[in-house]
Structures are given as C-alpha cells and as structure tokens.
Amino acid sequence: MNLTELNKVATAMVASGKGILAADESSGTIKKRFDAIGVESTEENRRDYREMLFRSKEAMSQFISGVILYDETIWQAAADGTPLVKLIESSGAIPGIKVDEGTQALPMCPGETVTVGLDKLAERLKKYYERGARFAKWRAVIDIGGGIPSMTAISVNAHALARYAALCQAAQIVPIVEPEVLMDGDHDIDRCYDVTSRVLNKTFQELRVQRVALEGMVLKPNMAISGKKSPKQASVEEVAEKTVRLLKACVPAAVPGIAFLSGGQSDEEATAHLNAMHKLGPLPWGLTFSYGRALQAAPQKAWSGKAENVAAGQRAFSHRARMNGLASRGEWQSSLEKKAA
C-alpha cells in the first residue's frame, strides 16, 4: 500500500469548490428515476444519460472531483466508442466504483439490514483498478425506529465497512466509508444526532482495529437532520450547527475529507445545509458533497430521454454542480437559484 498516493487521491476528491457525483444507481433505482420521466430503462438509455453527464464540460472540469460508477457503467463505452471511464478522466475528475452488493435482512434483528459483498471483493477491486477506478464506495444502512438501531446492526455494519476499507487500501483504492443513518422516520434531529454519533464512533473503532489508514479514506455520512415525518423540522442553521458539532466530536482530523450524502433532501436543502456549515469557521477536514439525486433530478427532467434535450440536461447539471461547488466554500446564496430559473 502506498499511503502517499492514497492520500493524494483522497485529498483531490474533497478539493475546495468541488464534490463527487454519485452516478452509481443500481438497475432498480435508475429504473424508478427513468419511470418518473417516462424513459425506458434500457442499457443504451442508461449509457446515453450518463454520457450526457460526463460530457458536461463545465460541470465536470470545474465542480466535480470524482464520479462513483455502477458496475455496468464502468465497462460501458460512449456512443463513439470512448470508454466512459476515459471521458471522466479527460475532464480531470477521478473515476470510482460502488462495490457493495446491497443489503440483506439481518438475522435476529427484525427491521434491520446488513450490507453484503465482501466475498471475492479483493479480485473485483483488482479488475476495477485496472479499468481506472481509484476510489470505491460501500454503503451501510442504519434505520431509526422503535427500539432500533440495535447495537448488533451498528456493529456488524461497522465491521463490514472496515473490512471493505482495508481491502480497498490493500488494492491501492481509496475507500469512501458510507454509514448512512436514514432520515425516513418521524424522529427529531436530536435522535438523529445520538444515533449518528454511535454509528460514527463504532465505525472509527472498527477502522482502527482493522488497520485502515485514516489518511487514505473519505467519509460519506448523513447530516444531523430531522426525520422526514417529524412534526419538528430543524432549521438550516440548526442542521449545520449540530452536524459540524457531531463531526468534530466523532471524526479524527487525520481523515482528509468528508463528502455528505443528500439522502432524501431536496436539491436546494442539500445545498443550503452544506453552505451553512462552511459559515461556521475553519474545519479540521475538507467538507463537501457526494450527491446523487440532488445533482441529477434536474438534468434527468430536462433531458427526458430525448437527444435534442442533451444541451438542456447538461445546463441543468452544470447549474446544480456549480451551486454545490459554491456551497462547499460557503459562497452560495438562494438568490443564485432564482437567477438561473
């Protein structure tokens, strides 16, 4: 393992003013997104859509530091035969790959899941590295509800995340460690804070046990935020203040950067929250975005599967990427959204 190289990639992934595009939707998820815009989810349509994003010159070269790909996408070539990985590289962004294989029910823990995909991961990572991937992603899912999460669910998911991270570093690939506490419930922000704090503490404990070099990883956490069904929705300022306090308490300064997931927030909410965090003074690590839906909902709608809408789709993508790029420096204002509209 060359830690200097890993650290270089991790630092580039969280470079100021840039963030990570999560384009790693599984076949099932992208089908849902395409259904919503009336587009059939064929391999060709999925390729055309992602090619449109990766050829968005302004967005990719100025505001996107890396792209998380799905297994199908990393092997695909653009319509002109150029591998999609090469389009990403030529824009100056870093190709990455989602390597987990989704979740399964956790035995003895009703309503809880564990992420799978460690079997043969070492061999898969080798192939992905040869194809150009320089970072990977693994998502653990922790739900908040009556009596959950259990310590069992937190422990097994933290253990799997750390095993995955160690395998990545051994393969010279930067691991994005993503323990996501879902915002689906009716819990308030303080309950989210407590659960996320337990999850992060356990995750870093496991990472140390398994000798993962913190300087060669990126953390992808949720924000401290109210559950979607909570009658008490926290303000942008409260989300920012509590999230930064939580991260300072749980995330060692050795970690080069933190890239948030948007996890069910609207496009603008995700941007406003990130922006507000940067108003709170200097932080020990780079703090940016790794958004999927919050970067892609607008371009998907603008494109709607039509070749003549590619330019409109790219404009919508560039706008969202630019807004988040500004937010990752604390320079975003909501008036900029209205101007574009």
Secondary structure of residue 168 in the 3-state scheme: helix
Give the global pTM.
0.96
- With a pLDDT cut of 70, the percent of the chain lying above it is 99
pLDDT of 23 above 90: yes
Burial of 245 (0-12, 13-18, 19+ CB in 10 A): middle
User: What are the sequence ranges of the domains in the chain?
Assistant: 3-340
Could you say which DSSP state residue 259 is in?
E
CATH topology of domain 3-340: TIM Barrel (3.20.20)
**What's the pLDDT score for residue 338?**
80
The per-residue DSSP string of 26-51 comes to -HHHHHHHHHHTT----HHHHHHHHH
The per-residue DSSP string of 263-299 comes to TT--HHHHHHHHHHHGGG---SSEEEEEESHHHHHHH
pLDDT band of residue 263 (cuts 50, 70, 90) is confident
Q: Rounded distance, CA 336 to CA 251, Å?
A: 32
Average pLDDT of span 138-153: 98
**Residue 170 to residues 1, 126, 129, 189, Cα–Cα distance (Å):** 6, 10, 11, 37
Burial of 335 (0-12, 13-18, 19+ CB in 10 A): exposed
Could you say which DSSP state residue 261 is in?
-
pLDDT of 341 above 70: no
Q: Rounded distance, CA 290 to CA 215, Å?
A: 19
Catalytic residues, by residue number, are: 178, 220
Both tokens of 244, joined, read 């930064």
Q: Rounded distance, CA 78 to CA 296, Å?
A: 19
Q: Which residue has the tokens 């994003």?
A: 53
Q: Rounded distance, CA 58 to CA 314, Å?
A: 9
pLDDT band of residue 218 (cuts 50, 70, 90) is very high
116-125 per-residue burial string, b: 16 or more CB within 10 A, e: under 16: ebbeebeebb
**Residue 269 to residues 65, 225, 227, 248, 249, Cα–Cα distance (Å):** 21, 11, 14, 22, 24
Which DSSP helix (H) or strand (E) runs through 173? none
**pLDDT tens digits for 232-260?**
999 999 999 999 999 999 999 999 999 99
Average pLDDT of the residues of the chain:
97
Q: Rounded distance, CA 71 to CA 73, Å?
A: 6
Count of alpha carbons within 13 Å of 290, Cβ hemisphere only?
A: 34
**Residue 164 to residues 217, 218, 273, 292, 293, Cα–Cα distance (Å):** 11, 13, 29, 22, 25
pLDDT of 283 above 60: yes
Residues paired with residue 138 on neighbouring β-strands, in sequence order:
177
224-237 per-residue burial string, b: 16 or more CB within 10 A, e: under 16: bbbbeebeeebeee
pLDDT band of residue 35 (cuts 50, 70, 90) is very high
Secondary structure of residue 172 in the 3-state scheme: coil
